[in-house]
Structure 1
Amino acid sequence: MVSSPSPPHYEHRFTLYGHTQAVTSLKFSPDGQYLASASSDNSIIIWDAILGTHSKTLQGHTEGVNDIAWSSDNVCVASASDDYSVRIWNVKKGTLAKTLSAHNNPVFCVNFNPQSNLLASGGFDETVKIWDVARGILIRSISAHSDPVTSVSFSHDGTIIVTSSFDGLARIWDTASGQCLKTIVEPQSIDPCANVIFTPNARYILCSTLDSTIRLWDYHNSKCVKTYKGHKNDLYALGACFATPAKNRSWIISGSEDHKIYLWDLQSRDVVQILEGHTDVVLAVATHPTRNIIASGAIHSDLGIRLWFDEENTSVKTNGV
C-alpha cells in the first residue's frame, strides 16, 4: 500500500547574497552538492547547497544570464545569455570550456539531455538549437515556434524534447530527427506559455502559462488532466517544478508575482503551503534531488537567494508521475 504524503512544512533556513541584479535561474547539481544561480548581472555563482557558502563565480558573459543547466556528471554547467551565446563551464576548474554561437537573438533557455552529450537551447530567434557537447558544434536548428522560445527540456531517456513559447504552444519533438510529434494548445486560452517540463516518467508535461494557471497535460491525448491555481503569473516567465524528497514527486512548486512561493498537492490540486519572505517577484525556484530543500530567487529589490528546508517529510512514497 502506498502511504499518503504528509503535508509539507518548509521553513526558511538561510539567505545567500552575491548577485547584484535579478536572480533568473536556480539549479541544484544532480548529486545535490551544489546550487548554481544565474543573474541579470552577467554572472553564475556556484554555492554549497547544504552549507549555503560561496564556492566560485563564473564570469564571461557580456549580458544577463537567463538560464542554466547541469551536466549529469556534475562537472559542467551550461548557460544561456542575452549576449546571444550559450556557454559551457567546467565547474570543478571554474573555467569556460566552450562558447556556442548560432543564435542571432538573446538565448532564453538551455538544457542537457540525460547523457549530457547533447545540449538544447532556445531563444528570441524562435528556434531550438541542438548541440554536440564534446565537439561544441551545432547539429540541428529547428524553427520551433512563431514567438520566442521560453523553455526546452528533454525526457528522462532523452528521446524527445518539449518546448514552450510566447506563441501559447507547447510542442513535443523527436530528438534524433528534429520532427514535431505533437503540438499542445489550451483551446480556452492563447496566453503565452512561460515554461514546460516533463514529469519524471515523461507521461505528462507540466505547463505554466501567463494566465496564472499551471496545467498537467497528457500530451499523448492532447488532454489537460489537472490545473493548479492560486498564484499570480501574468507578466514573467515563471517555471514550476516537482519536489523530490526521497524520490517523491507529490508536490508542485512555483514562484509568484505576489512575492510568494506556492506548493500544490499534485493529485488533489490543493495549495498545501505558501512560503512568504521575498519582497519582489519570485522568478526562480528549484528543488534538491534527494533532500527536502527548495531554493528561490527574486528580482529587482530582492536579490537574496532563499533556502527552505523541510526535514520532517523524508520518507514519502512516489505516486508514479
Structure 2
Amino acid sequence: MNSDDDVPPSDGDDIDEGMADDDAEIDNAPLEAETHADEAAAFVTHTEAVLSVAICPTNPQMIVTGGQDDVAVLWSLSEQDGSVTVTQRQRLEGHTDSVTQVSFSHDGQYVASGSYDGTVKIWTADGALLHTLEATKEIEWTLWHPKGHALLAGSSDTMVWMWWAPTGKLMQIFTSHAQRVTCGCWPNGGKLICTGSEDCSIVVWNPRAGTPQQHLRQLHESPVVCMCAHPESPIVVTGSEDKTAKVVQVETGSVIATLTGHDDSVEAVAFSNATGLLLLATASMDGRVQVWNAKKYDLRCTMRDHEGSGGVTTLKWLPPSHSELLCTSSTDRTLRLFNALSGQCVRTLYGHSDTVLSLDLSVVGGANLCVVSGSDDSTCRVFAVSLNGAAPDPEPSVTATG
C-alpha cells in the first residue's frame, strides 16, 4: 500500500509495509454499588448497555464508547488536584442499531464504530464523520491493522470485510465461513488475517488475494468465541464455547496445544505485553482466569476470585512496564486487577450495578493505572489505581501449578 492516505493500496505492495505505512474480595452478600463506589468518575449519557469502550493509544485522555442505544460518544478526561473530570466531546450519531464495537486506529487518527445496522462508520479523532462503510448484515466486531489504517469487520452474514479507512475503499470480502463470524486477529505481525466463527472453524487468510491459506474445520466442538495473535510468532490462540482454548500454528495449520481446565465457555484470550517472560491468559464464564507459560503452554496458575459470583466477560493485560498485571471484568459487577506471576488479586473495583461488558486501560506517569469500563447498567466508569506498593486483597483464591 502507498503511504499516501488518498491513494488506495496497490496489489503489488507488501502487506506488512503497506498496512503499516501510517506508520477487595467479593463476599457472599449481594453487592450494593452505592456502598462500594471506587470509581474516580462516571458518565451516564448512554441510555442502554455500554457494549464497547476504547482509550486512544496516543492520547489516553480521550475515550470512545459504543452503546445499545445506537450511539457512540467521544469523551475526554482531565485531572486537577486529584479529582477526575469527564467531559463529553462529541456524540457520534447516525447508526440505527446497537453500536457493538468502537476503536481507535493505532495512531489515534481515526475512530471506527461498527453496528448491528450493518454499517461501519469512520470518524476523525475530533468526531467528524468521514465514511459510512456498508456491509450486508450485523457487524459483530471490528479490528484495525496493528500498524496501519486497514480495518477488518466480521459479520453475521458469514463474511469478513476489509476497508482502507482513509478513503473508505473496500479492499476485500473474505468468504469461507458457514455461520456468523465472531472474532478475528492479525497474526504474523499483520501479514495474515485469522477469523473464527460459530461454525466451529478458523480460517487463515491471505489479505492480498482474499483466499484461505488454512481452513481448520471443526477445530472446536462448539462455536469459536474469541482469539488473539502471538506478538512475535505465527501463532493464534482461540477460545470456544466447548470450554477449551487451542494454540494453532497458522502457517501450517497444526494445533500446538489444547488448553483445558475451564468448566464453561472461554470468553477471552490474550498474550501479555512482556518483553521477557511471555504469558497467556484465558478467561471463562466459570469465573476463572488461567495463566499459561507461552513457551510450552503449561499452566502456571488459576485465579478463582470471580468464581462463584460471576463469569469473566473480558480481560486486558497492562503495558510492558507492568506486564505481570492483568485486569478482568465480570458478570458479578466488578473488575479485578491480578498479578499473574503470583496469582493474587491486587485490587477489586466496585461501582457498577450490572454486568461489566467491556474495559480498556492505560498507565499514566509510570505508576497510575486508568481503567475505563462499560456495563449493562448503561454507565461507563473510570477507575484510578496507584500501582505503587499495591497490596493484594486478602486470601486470594489461587490454584498454582508447577
In structure 1, distance between residues paired with 2:246 and 2:61:
30
Partner residue in 2 for 1:249: 323
Instruction: State which of 118, 128, 136 in structure 2 corresponds to 1:95.
Output: 128
What is the CA-CA distance between 1:74 and the residue it aligns to? 1.4
Q: Is the 8 A contact 1:196 1:239 kept in 2?
A: no
What is the CA-CA distance between 1:38 and the residue it aligns to? 0.4
Moved more, 107-116 or 202-211: 202-211
SS at match of 2:189: coil
In structure 1, distance between residues paired with 2:77 and 2:231:
22
In structure 1, distance between residues paired with 2:91 and 2:321:
30
In structure 2, distance between residues paired with 1:96 and 1:150:
26
Partner residue in 1 for 2:16: none
In structure 2, distance between residues paired with 1:81 and 1:307:
24
Percent of aligned pairs sharing the same letter: 23
Partner residue in 2 for 1:76: 110
What is the CA-CA distance between 1:309 and the residue it aligns to? 2.0
Instruction: Give 5+ residue unaligned stretches, structure 1.
Output: 1-10, 315-321
Partner residue in 2 for 1:56: 90
In structure 1, distance between residues paired with 2:336 and 2:61:
25
Partner residue in 2 for 1:3: none
Partner residue in 1 for 2:152: 120
Partner residue in 2 for 1:132: 164
Partner residue in 2 for 1:298: 375
In structure 2, distance between residues paired with 1:66 and 1:236:
20
In structure 2, distance between residues paired with 1:196 and 1:241:
13
Alpha-carbon deviations, 1:87-108, whole Å to 9, x = none? 101132x22100111x221111
Alpha-carbon deviations, 1:129-152, whole Å to 9, x = none? 111223312221112433212223
What is the CA-CA distance between 1:238 and the residue it aligns to? 3.8
SS at match of 1:88: strand
Q: Is the 8 A contact 1:218 1:224 kept in 2?
A: no
Residues 67 and 232 of structure 1, relative CA distance in 2, 3 Å threshold? farther
SS at match of 1:157: helix
What is the CA-CA distance between 1:158 and the residue it aligns to? 1.9
SS at match of 1:52: strand
User: Looking at CA atoms only, which structure, 1 or 2, has the larger radius of gyration?
Assistant: 2
* Matching residue's letter, 1:25: S
In structure 1, distance between residues paired with 2:337 and 2:219:
23
Matched, 1:15 2:47: no
Q: Is the 8 A contact 1:296 1:307 kept in 2?
A: yes
Instruction: State which of 358, 363, 379 in structure 2 corresponds to 1:284.
Output: 358
TM-score calculated relative to the size of structure 1: 0.78
SS at match of 1:125: coil
Q: Is the 8 A contact 1:150 1:237 kept in 2?
A: no
Partner residue in 1 for 2:334: 260
CA RMSD of aligned residues (A): 3.3
* Matching residue's letter, 1:13: A
Q: Is the 8 A contact 2:183 2:196 kept in 1?
A: yes
SS at match of 1:288: strand
Partner residue in 1 for 2:52: 25
Partner residue in 2 for 1:104: 136
Partner residue in 2 for 1:319: none
* Matching residue's letter, 2:65: S
What is the CA-CA distance between 1:70 and the residue it aligns to? 0.8
Q: Is the 8 A contact 1:174 1:181 kept in 2?
A: no
What is the CA-CA distance between 1:161 and the residue it aligns to? 2.5
In structure 2, distance between residues paired with 1:305 and 1:108:
21
Q: Is the 8 A contact 1:170 1:184 kept in 2?
A: yes
* Matching residue's letter, 1:85: T
Matched, 1:38 2:66: yes
What is the CA-CA distance between 1:270 and the residue it aligns to? 5.7
* Matching residue's letter, 1:165: S
In structure 2, distance between residues paired with 1:108 and 1:313:
38
In structure 1, distance between residues paired with 2:46 and 2:69:
7
Matched, 1:195 2:226: yes
Matched, 1:217 2:247: yes
